């Protein structure tokens, strides 16, 4: 039996304690964690395989490749660009999953205030398979509004991100 790894959650963002939480996962054959990692961490590729992201910038310099402690911003889900900061970054290695997490948010009145932790885990599995897990906890009134929608736009949006990431990593064109 193979034990699969889990996201490292700071207490503030523990799943089920925020206003919206989603979890999406794919397991595919024929890719490696290292190859997927290149497309996940290079923000210059995001818009080529994921329609729900725009206006990626690095206000303090750096980028387009994410790394530990890097500040960046991006627009998604119709929100104004969110200020983001990488809080966990560990490249995949043999027996070690890749881990990427960022906090993101926007300030303002309560109806607009949003606080998010978006986490990724990319790991090689036996038999030439790779597992890609992404989970997000959101806190704030905009998050609570998203959570009320059926289906949850976050769930579908993140699935589109995973599907696009797999397509890009495998060299397949967008459908």
Locus of tokens 């193979």: 2
pLDDT in tens, 58-80: 999 999 999 999 999 999 988 88
Band (108; pLDDT cuts 50, 70, 90): confident
Tell me the domain boundaries of the chain. 19-169
Taking Cα atoms as reference points, which of 5, 11, 15 lies closest to residue 154?
Answer: 15
Please say if the pLDDT value at position 1 is more than 50: no
Residue 151, pLDDT above cutoff 80: yes
Q: Is the pLDDT of residue 2 over 60?
A: no
Q: List, for residues 111-147, the tens digit of each pLDDT value.
A: 889 999 999 999 999 999 999 999 999 999 999 999 9
pLDDT value at residue 175 = 46
Spatial distance between the Cα atoms of 164 and 175, rounded to a whole number of angstroms: 9
CA distance 19 to 115: 10
- CATH superfamily for 19-169 is START domain (3.30.530.20)
10: phi then psi, degrees, rounded to nearest 5? -65, 145
So what's the pLDDT on residue 77?
Answer: 86
pLDDT the model gives residue 133: 97
pLDDT tens, residue by residue, 7-59:
999 999 999 999 999 999 999 999 999 999 999 999 999 999 999 999 999 99
Instruction: Please list, in sequence order, all residues whose beta carbon lies within 8 angstroms of the beta carbon of residue 91, skipping any fewer than 6 positions away.
Output: 34, 37, 98
């Amino acid at each position: 039996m193979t034990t699969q790894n889990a996201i490292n959650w700071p207490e503030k963002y523990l799943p089920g304690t925020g206003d919206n939480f989603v979890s999406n996962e794919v397991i595919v054959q024929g890719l490696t964690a290292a190859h997927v990692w290149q497309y996940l961490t290079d923000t210059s590729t995001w818009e080529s395989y994921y329609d729900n992201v725009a206006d990626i910038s690095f206000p303090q310099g750096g980028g387009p490749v994410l790394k530990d402690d890097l500040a960046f911003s991006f627009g998604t889900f119709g929100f104004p660009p969110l200020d983001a900061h990488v809080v966990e970054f560990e490249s995949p290695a043999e027996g070690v999953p890749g881990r990427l997490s960022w906090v993101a948010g926007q300030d303002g009145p309560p109806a607009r205030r949003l606080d998010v932790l978006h986490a990724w885990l990319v790991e090689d599995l036996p038999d030439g398979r790779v597992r890609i897990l992404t989970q997000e906890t959101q806190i704030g009134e905009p998050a609570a509004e998203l959570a009320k929608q059926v289906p949850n736009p976050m769930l579908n949006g993140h699935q589109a991100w995973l599907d696009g990431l797999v397509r890009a990593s495998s060299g397949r064109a967008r459908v």
